[in-house]
Amino acid sequence: MLSAEQNDLITRTNPGTAAGNLMRRYWQPAALIDELSGNRPVKPVRLLGEDLVAFKDDKGRYGLIGRHCPHRGTDLAYGRLEDGGLRCAFHGWLFDVGGKCLQTPAEPDNSKMSANVKQKSYPVVEKSGILWAYLGPGEPPAFPHFDCFVAPGTHTFAFKGMIDCNWLQSLEVGIDPVHTSFLHRFFEDEDPDKSYGRMFRDTSKDSDMPMTKIMREFPRPRIEVEPTDYGFRLATLREIGNDKAHIRVTNLIFPNAFIIPMSREMTIAQWHVPIDDVKHYWYAIFTSFGAPVDKDKMRNQRLELYELPDYIPRKNKSNDYGFDAHEQAHTTYTGMGADINVHDQWACESMGQIQDRTQEHLGTSDKAIAAYRRLLRRALDQSGKGERPIMVLDAAAAQTVTGPACVDGIGPAGDWQGYWQRTDAARHETKSWNGH
């Protein structure tokens, strides 16, 4: 249980807040590259409570600048993309990707006014299908050499979706390895061969047991939390008999992401990034260690569930997440269909816009959540004192932050550590993009 002050401290990320200052020390996802393609690559972006506009200029450079024109305050998201920048539709002022004012065409010919105008702008970089932004002070940190960032573009696919609540609720669901046995329970298993691109429908490695069966039949796992250079690793162990255990290795990536196995072939790296204190986006990079990702199939699967342009889930609070009492009695635990994103969406949003953590009761099975809050409080403390928190990496350190191991398999209960280490090493030795 937290005090109201402690809850505010760890959830609020607008400019000037302690957690806002901390989150600004890291690259954050600002848009999908998909959103900045097409005829007019201009996209309003609200990020950490700041109103911005992302665009790609006529030379192919990406920019992220303040949304309101510094002349009279109109909305640059309606601007004209031309002449090496974004031009305000009100009086034609032109801004480049760095926020520099290039022209003030209604001013006298000899005016020096544009030299004195600088629009807010933030560094951006394209990586693995996402446009990343750095909203913090000084030089941005280096990107860790995680698989999702070093895999070739053919083997990653990025997507996003809006969640109507504070970012921390979703992060804390993502690092809760127990809820899958309940929230995502299916009373019957389906053919794993039909599972492409979907979570928890494959079999676990080294077995022919569907993940859904393991989750359903073994709901009381042991959880081990191991600190790492990127946050922590979780090992979730379900003893299934005959000296065997289901071993699932997942990772918290500080400050606002996790990396988990999705299927035998793919992992998901997922960020939960505040739009503001009461809304956020998940951004996921799906990384394949086997065949190239079928991006069209992955995109179309997800576009059935999310509505453009804002990536709002079609099943949501306004339609009870598709809740059906008959389904809940016979098919799924939630009665909200087979898409697990809907289940998670309901879990996160139904806690309220900002969960009131003064009323919660964390148990033993919530130990990863408690571990994360300790990590967060330590980093808040360090960043408040001007020290460098975990994962603010320089180029040399970034090269050593790799992987991370993601495993979902059945191995010897007595040697579960050896099992996941061998399994992870073998995957890296045999991955299809070795030598890339």
Residues at the interface with Fe ion (CB under 5 A)? 344
Pick one of 93, 146, 149, 167: the residue that binds ligand FES (CB under 6 A). 93
Q: Is 82 in the site for ligand FES (CB under 6 A)?
A: no
Which segment (70-78, 180-188, 228-236, 318-326) binds ligand FES by CB under 6 A? 70-78
CA distance linking residue 68 with residue 77, whole number of Å: 8
3-state secondary structure of 98: coil
Closest CA to 274 of 129, 373, 158, 164: 164
For residues 107 and 189, which CB has a smaller minimum distance to ligand FES in the complex?
Answer: 107
* Token output for 328: 């809940």
By a kind-dependent CB cut-off of 5 to 8 A, residue 134 interacts, out of Fe ion, ligand FES, none, with none
Nearer to ligand FES, 69 or 351 (CB): 69
Tokens of 85: 């920048």
Query: CB 270 → Fe ion: shortest distance, Å?
Result: 10
**Binding status of residue 88 toward ligand FES by CB under 6 A:** yes
How far is 407 from 242, CA to CA, in rounded Å?
20
Binding partner of 71, given Fe ion, ligand FES, none, CB within 5-8 angstroms per partner class: ligand FES
Asked if 111 touches ligand FES (CB under 6 A), the answer is: no
Q: Which is nearer to ligand FES, 91 or 373 (CB)?
A: 91
SS3 content of the chain, % helix, strand, coil (to 5): 30, 30, 40
Instruction: Verify binding: residue 71, ligand FES, rule CB under 6 A.
Output: yes
Nearer to Fe ion, 86 or 215 (CB): 215
Residue 302: contacted member of Fe ion, ligand FES, none (CB under 5 to 8 Å, by partner type): none
Q: How far is the CB of 92 from ligand FES (least distance, A)?
A: 6
Candidates 67-75, 211-219, 291-299, 397-405; binding stretch for ligand FES (CB under 6 A)? 67-75
Helix (H, G, I), strand (E, B) or coil at 387: coil
Give 362's strand partners. Answer: none
285 binds, among Fe ion, ligand FES, none (CB under 5 to 8 A by kind): none
User: What CA–CA distance (Å, rounded) separates 69 from 133?
Assistant: 20
For residue 46, the 8-state DSSP code is E
98 binds, among Fe ion, ligand FES, none (CB under 5 to 8 A by kind): none
Rank residues 74 and 207 by Cβ distance to ligand FES and give the closer one.
Answer: 74
C-beta of 344 vs 408, nearer to Fe ion: 344
Q: Quick check: 69 binds ligand FES (CB under 6 A)?
A: yes
Q: Residue 74: which of Fe ion, ligand FES, none does it interact with, CB under 5 to 8 A by kind?
A: ligand FES
Q: How far is the CB of 104 from ligand FES (least distance, A)?
A: 7
Q: Which residues neighbour 236 within 8 Å (Cβ) at sequence distance 6 or greater? A: 177, 178, 221, 222, 223, 224, 247, 248, 249, 250
- For residues 256 and 138, the answer to whether their CB atoms sit within 8 Å is no
User: Does residue 91 bind ligand FES (CB under 6 A)?
Assistant: yes
Stretch in the footprint of ligand FES (CB under 6 A) among 86-94, 153-161, 271-279, 423-431: 86-94
Q: Which is nearer to ligand FES, 74 or 417 (CB)?
A: 74
120 contacts ligand FES (rule: CB under 6 A): no
Nearest-Å Rg of the Cα atoms of the chain is: 23
Question: What long-range pairs does 14-19 form, CB within 8 A, spacing at least 24?
Answer: 14/48, 14/49, 14/276, 14/277, 15/48, 15/49, 15/50, 18/380, 18/383, 18/384, 19/376, 19/380
- Say if CB 102 and CB 83 are below 8 A apart: yes
Residue 344 binding: pick among Fe ion, ligand FES, none (C-beta 5-8 Å cut-off by kind): Fe ion
- Greatest CA separation for the chain: 85
* CB of residue 257 to Fe ion, shortest distance in Å: 15
Residues 6+ apart with CB under 8 A from 53: 42, 43, 44, 45, 64, 65, 66, 67, 76, 77, 79, 86
Amino acid at 154: T
Residues interacting with ligand FES, by CB under 6 A? Answer: 69, 71-72, 74, 88, 90-93
